[in-house]
Structure 1
């Protein structure tokens, strides 16, 4: 947890272009964007994967979802929409083992993603 890059960003030890922050959630720009809008939404609480969630985290994860909509609206994505994606474990493409969501928008996104 101490070496987790997202925990270090939350503690402001590593710089990030933060676009939203409250007591529970941080949203910042992805350093390798896959779309014109590519943000990472993370709970400030370190939770490695979805398999590590507990009943105590239900409100936190719901809050992340609400923040996604609010931030997308502020970025004028309400009309065209956005994609919210989270990868769980290696085969799904999870590179940082701290639950996070990718908010992608600003262009037409293809399906299936990969």
Structure 2
């Protein structure tokens, strides 16, 4: 079991300046720093200053800002002079998705022919009725996440 408390979180320590990091970008909401366990040279993590374990714990404004900075970092990697024939933007949300540090973070890393990163899966084509059922389930999840409707105006 991973300790998810902010006082034990290495990313919180980096954000607070209590642990070393090679910072590529910082503002009042995020810090972007080089990943010690880089997939390729130039692998950056974009981390909100606010401790949030995963997507469910992160407010939409902060999440939007993380992705915005991730986009900027991806563009910067292409212009950096580092070997970069492509860019991956990768989120691991939860243990089943290979999240190892339980502080929300976005991986942004350069890709090039012959690098070691792989995603291996069964990429089988799914039948339309199954896709329709899954789309319905996602719509239900979106409805459950929607803000409550304003009360109807009953005055005439």
Which TM-score bucket, shorter chain as reference?
Answer: 0.7 to 0.9
- Normalising by structure 2, we get a TM-score of 0.61
Distance 1:59 1:82 in 2: 19
Closer, same or farther: CA 54–105 of 1 in aligned 2, 3 Å: same
Q: Which is higher, the Rg of structure 1 or of structure 2? A: 2
Q: Secondary structure at the match of 1:36?
A: coil
Q: Secondary structure at the match of 1:2?
A: helix
Which residue of structure 2 aligns with residue 53 of structure 1?
58
**Ranges in structure 1 where 5+ consecutive residues have no aligned partner:** none
Unmatched 5+ stretches in structure 2: 1-5, 121-156
Q: Following the alignment from structure 1 to structure 2, what is the Cα–Cα distance between the partners of residues 55 and 103?
A: 20
Q: Which has the higher contact order (CA 8 A, sep 6+)?
A: 1
TM-score w.r.t. the length of structure 1 is 0.80
Change in 2 beyond 3 A, CA 1:113/1:92: same
Name 1:6's counterpart in structure 2: 11
Pair 1:71–1:25, CA change in 2 (3 A): farther
**Equivalent position of 1:84 in the other structure:** 89
Would you say how many aligned residue pairs link Structure 1 and Structure 2? 113
Query: How big is the alpha-carbon RMSD for the aligned residues of Structure 1 and Structure 2?
Result: 2.4
